[in-house]
Amino acid sequence: MKELFDLTGNVALVTGATHGLGMAMATALAKAGATLVVNGNTPAKMERALELYRQNGIEAKGYLFDVTDEAAAQENIERIEQEVGPIAILVNNAGMIKRIPALEMEVADFRKVLDVDLTGPFIMSKQVGKHMVQRQAGKIINICSMMSELGRDTVSAYAAAKGGLKMLTRNLATEWARYNIQVNGIGPGYFATDQTAPIRVDGHPFNEFIIHRTPAGRWGDPEDLAGATIFLASRASDFVNGQILYVDGGILATIGKPSNE
């Protein structure tokens, strides 16, 4: 049974894997046997990340490019295919958030978030997907969010993008299932990462709110994503198409409870 989840010999490209959830998911794939390719866009962060992977026993290869730049993405994907090997697993994790009330948000900021969180995964899926179609095999995992399903004050652009990413997942799954490519998503709940650091500080009302709102009663630990990532990257999910697997401690299962309980 363990073989179902074995990724030995498979090249996995994880975007935005120099830190946070991307790094945790990339680490899980490597520990399951995958050859890891890390995308990022800042040289210093990449250097630091490759050193952290090394300390963890993982010889990752780093490629610096912006996922919203189609020419750069295409060129780097060709290089990865030549230099490392055929990309078997693509994790579209690179993303960003802007927390600004809708009435105050500049359209340029809205567009920027859409570009990184939604158009980036489209570009990457298209450029890697064309190789996967030729090979009649591939796994694409799009990193969605609670905001693929729920709204919250200040995150209109992020919610619009992550809701869109859920539908992009279903649509690509529809187009490519016939080529034996499984496109699925992971929807992390509230995790302890740099992205949530500003709203997670002790005593911040949002910190208490999330712990209360999450049936499991805690923030997610990035390592909580390992199982879902390996599952959707492995043979174990060969007939799973267009699903979003929410790893959220139960948030989406419940309406919540009164604040005094």
Residue positions annotated with a catalytic role:
158
Question: Counting contacts by CB under 6 A, is residue 21 touching ligand GCO?
Answer: no
149: its two tokens? 């399903």
Q: Based on CB atoms, which residue is closest to Ca ion, 25 or 73?
A: 25
Separation between Cα atoms, residue 216 and residue 144, nearest integer Å? 20
Instruction: Name the burial class of residue 237, with classes exposed (0-12), middle (13-18) and buried (19+) by CB atoms within 10 angstroms of its CB.
Output: buried
Q: Based on CB atoms, which residue is closest to ligand GCO, 87 or 232?
A: 232
Cβ pair 165, 185 in contact under 8 A: yes
Point out which span in 10-18, 64-72, 174-182, 189-197 binds ligand GCO (CB under 6 A): 189-197
Question: Counting contacts by CB under 6 A, is residue 158 touching ligand GCO?
Answer: yes
- Beta strand 181-188 with 87-92 is unpaired
Torsion of the alpha carbons at 166, 144, 60 and 35, rounded to the nearest 10: -40
Point out which span in 12-20, 75-83, 140-148, 252-260 binds ligand GCO (CB under 6 A): 140-148
Nearest CA to 2 out of 235, 190, 256, 219 is that of: 235
Q: Rg (Cα) of the chain, in Å, rounded?
A: 18
Q: For ligand GCO, which residue of 99, 126, 212, 235 counts as binding (CB under 6 A)?
A: 99
Point out which span in 84-92, 114-122, 183-191, 253-261 binds ligand GCO (CB under 6 A): 183-191
Point out which span in 29-37, 134-142, 166-174, 191-199 binds ligand GCO (CB under 6 A): 191-199
20 binds, among Ca ion, ligand GCO, none (CB under 5 to 8 A by kind): Ca ion
Q: Based on CB atoms, which residue is closest to Ca ion, 52 or 240?
A: 52
Q: In the complex, what is the shortest distance from the CB of residue 146 to ligand GCO, in angstroms, rounded to a whole number?
A: 3
| Cα dihedral 125, 127, 128, 130 sign | positive
Give CA separation, 191 vs 14, 194, 196, 206, 225, in Å: 18, 9, 7, 13, 10
Q: In the complex, what is the shortest distance from the CB of residue 36 to Ca ion, in angstroms, rounded to a whole number?
A: 18
Q: For ligand GCO, which residue of 20, 121, 189, 249 counts as binding (CB under 6 A)?
A: 189
Cβ pair 208, 242 in contact under 8 A: no
Question: Counting contacts by CB under 6 A, is residue 196 touching ligand GCO?
Answer: yes
Q: In the complex, what is the shortest distance from the CB of residue 156 to ligand GCO, in angstroms, rounded to a whole number?
A: 11
List of residues contacting ligand GCO (CB under 6 A): 97, 99, 145-147, 152, 155, 158, 188-190, 195-196, 199
